[in-house]
Amino acid sequence: MEVRELTKAEEEIMRVLWQLDRAFVKDVLAQLPEPKPAYNTVSTIIRILEKKGLVGYTAYGKTHEYYALITEEQYRRFQTEQLMSNYFDNSLKKLVSFFVKEKNLSLNEADEIIRLLNQNKNTP
């Protein structure tokens, strides 16, 4: 399944669906922060996500229960790949360097990154 860039509103709806697993429009709306969008707005965004192939549904008469067709992890991976290619020339070194400089990476966090890199190096 092809993962695509989501608008901010689409991503917000997907986050709710990932959290709830399955939900009706009213359930999604209940989870959104104030000021809440109109019911029809949420319904429209969910239908757009459905057309993009990211959301499926089960019909109960005229009512639909929606669920995500991609996992949050799949979207996170897609977003990370986009970030790496668009801003860091696919260089992990440039990405880590950015976080060290801009986000004041602590020594404990750096140690954890090194531990993870060493752990991954030893797995096939």
- For 95-114, the pLDDT digits (tens) are 878 877 887 778 888 788 88
- Residue 53 phi/psi, 5-degree rounding, is 80, 20
Q: How far apart are CA 13 and CA 42, in angstroms?
A: 8
| Mean of pLDDT over the chain | 89
What residues does each domain of the chain span? Answer: 8-68, 90-124
The rounded distance, in Å, linking the Cα atoms of 4 and 122 is 32
Query: How far is 5 from 11, CA to CA, in rounded Å?
Result: 9
Please tell me the pTM assigned to this model.
0.76
Q: Which CATH class is domain 8-68?
A: mainly alpha
C-beta of residue 87 within 8 angstroms of C-beta of residue 26: no
- Per-residue pLDDT for 124 more than 60? no
Tens of pLDDT, residues 73-84 = 999 988 888 888
